[in-house]
Structure 1
């Protein structure tokens, strides 16, 4: 698997796009591409950093929405419209929690009223729930509920393919269920909003480091760091990662790429 960090920021960050990952799985043909979360600023980051085969009008196979906060899904209307503008005809699958189809089309109608019938490609929806396992775009997807918001629950997702595995937390503190989902994963991508051990509704750097160690994650990447914390303490976070994870702990920048069996390339 190849993981490109399109964005690594939180909702309000003016310098870092909303956290969004592109997971690519090679195949003898063209492979599969899956986008994990698509917030307000993610579409521009997608076209800035995604490889050409994913950026083409038919390159993206599936989109995962971890939860229905704007910095995780309200970039979808723009991305769907640009796919239309580029002439996409190939079906696209969107995976998310119960109600994902209704919410996506409601957002699209607000952004571009009356435009939905003009889309020339099918958009298919697959609902997901904690404990469920599905097969989409060449990978096995598993889900677990994190500790984020009662009103807007967030699912972590694990993608397994050809013996490799990556888990993306979305937002939220680790739970017993997400820890089990992350066990022995090749790459754990977890939001770490601050330096406190326990941040209500969010992961913290110390807790994520402890989680990675406990579940024997081979690599750890921290994303969605509070913009002030990142600006003032990025060096401290990298030192903490190095102490616990050695050369396998990362505070990625937009455009960075990680393959679980190699160090990241910096773009």
Structure 2
């Protein structure tokens, strides 16, 4: 499995980083994890064709995590995409995309003729996309955004992702023995509802095989030299393999 980080920034693009978006390519399926507002720009910057994306997984309804989806669909409408696109999200994405299309491009009918297959989830559910299995975990963030962490299994590799959240015991089973756990860490020591801090996370005993911090705010970026964990960077590539 290959991972290209298209964006690992927070809602404010702190440090000049793009909004959250992670592109995974595997032998069976290519998928985006998150599709923040800057995602189409990042895809084009890194010359990743949008038609290569088979699925998009969204953790919650904040614009820096799903706000780029309508622009991705606009691109695929222009390209006359015919193959299906799975959109995996909390309940209500179809209505939100219709509202976004009407707001940003009234009269354009972006969603017509696109073969979108919505897969909605709630807490502690499993979704099967054939070669890709997704498990969901409720986390603690702005309740109206329906926040979740997601655990993805494909090609013998397990990827866990926290979404946006403060500490919750759900993170333990979410990340357990994951080959890669991508975890938000917005703050260094500041306590803020709905987000993790490095101070809190570094005192937790996680059982993942590799931990990658994302969604860093200005405080974290300023103290980056003091961080003992691996930190995501826009444009960085990873090869991830499972341990049999």
User: TM-score, structure 2 length as denominator?
Assistant: 0.91
Contact kept? 1:193, 1:199, Cα under 8 Å:
no
Which residue does 1:195 correspond to in 2?
A: 188
Matched, 1:216 2:207: yes
Unaligned runs of 5+ in 2: none
Q: Is the 8 A contact 1:63 1:93 kept in 2?
A: yes
State the shift of 1:87 in Å.
Answer: 2.8
Q: Describe how 1:50-89 pairs up with structure 2 within 5 A.
A: 55-89=48-82
- 1:256 counterpart (230, 236, 239): 236
| Larger CA deviation: 36-45 vs 110-119 | 110-119
Query: What does the per-residue CA deviation read over 1:126-182, in whole Å, with 9 as the maximum and x for residues that have no partner?
Result: 101111001126211000011111222311111012321001111012322232121
2:44 is aligned to 47
- Provide closer, same or farther for how the CA distance between residues 137 and 105 of structure 1 changes in structure 2, counting only shifts above 3 A: farther
User: Do residues 236 (structure 1) and 226 (structure 2) align?
Assistant: yes
Contact 2:123–2:137 (Cα < 8 Å) also in 1: yes
Contact 1:172 1:191 in 2 (8 A): yes
Structure 2 SS opposite 1:176: coil
Match of 1:178 in 2: 171
3-state secondary structure, aligned to 1:215: coil
Shift of 1:198: 4.3
In the other structure, the counterpart of 1:34 is: 31
In structure 2, the residue matched to 1:146 is 139
Q: What secondary structure is seen at the aligned counterpart in 1 of 2:202?
A: helix
Structure 2 partner of 1:163: 156
Instruction: Show the counterpart of 1:135.
Output: 128
| Correspondence for 1:108 | 101
1: distance between equivalents of 2:111 and 2:31? 24
The separation in 1 between residues aligned to 2:107 and 2:116, in whole angstroms, is 16
User: C-alpha distance in 2, partners of 1:252/1:36?
Assistant: 14
The structural deviation recorded for 1:12 is: 0.9
Question: Aligned equivalents of 2:221 and 2:141: distance in 1?
Answer: 24
Bigger mean CA offset, 139-148 vs 193-202:
193-202
SS of equivalent residue, structure 1 residue 206 = helix
Indicate yes or no: 2:7 matched with 1:7. yes
**Unaligned residue ranges in structure 1 (runs of 5+):** 242-249, 263-267
Q: Which residue of 2 aligns with 1:246?
A: none
1:35-60: CA deviation from partner (whole Å, max 9, x where unpaired):
111121122112223xx5xx334211
Q: Measure how far apart 1:210 and its partner are.
A: 4.0
- Tell me the CA shift for residue 231 of structure 1: 3.8
Tell me, yes or no, if structure 1 residue 20 matches structure 2 residue 3: no
> 2:130 & 2:95 partners in 1: Cα distance?
22
Q: Distance in 1 between matches of 2:137 and 2:111?
A: 36
SS in 1 for 2:59: coil
Instruction: Give the helix-richer structure, 1 or 2.
Output: 1
